A = this chain, B = another copy of it.
Amino acid sequence: MAVVVGFIATAEGRAALEAAIEEAKLRSQRLLVLVHGGRDAEPDAIEEAMEEARSTIDPSGVGYEVRHLQRGKDVAEALVHTAIDADAELIVIGIRRRSPLGKLILGSNAQRILLESPCHVLAAKPQE
């Protein structure tokens, strides 16, 4: 059993990671972090995001593993497969609040994870 979280270095990604750390603590489970970088991430940016994830989790004492998504791979599919493989209890995702035009939207990755997840999904909201 594990808590699976997708991490990207944005407000939503950080909200998801913080929530996932709390959930892993509450449940006494390890954390599987899948780092991705959005559509056009450079290898350096992915490496930085992995380092940010590690240094965010380290002080919590939670056991974890940080992996990165191969470039071009589908985030929703990778999270769902990781959750299935790990027999995860929970997937944690961040929810974007507003599009660049100010419209409230639920991203298509979030929708697909919510629908295709084998387990419960926690949608974390960034602090306003």
Identify the A interface with B (CB < 8 A). 19, 26-27, 95, 97, 104-106, 110-111, 114-125
In the assembly, what is the distance between CA of A125 and CA of B121, in Å?
8
Q: Nearest Cβ distance between residue A99 and chain B, in whole angstroms? A: 11
B-chain residues with CB within 8 Å of residue A114 when the two chains form the complex: 95, 106, 110, 114, 123
Identify whether the interface residues of A are mostly helix, strand, loop, or mixed.
Answer: mixed
Nearest B residue to A96, CB-CB: B115
Q: Which of B27, B104, B118, B125 is A119 in contact with, Cβ under 8 Å?
A: B125
Return chain B residues, CB-CB under 8 Å to A27.
26
How many angstroms between the C-alpha atoms of A117 and B122 in the bound complex?
12
Closest CB in chain B relative to A62 CB, distance in Å: 15
Which 7 pairs of residues, A with B, have the shortest CB-CB distance? Answer: A121-B123, A104-B115, A26-B26, A122-B122, A120-B124, A106-B111, A114-B123
Which single residue of chain B is at the shortest CB-CB distance from A106? B111
List chain B residues, Cβ under 8 A from A110.
114
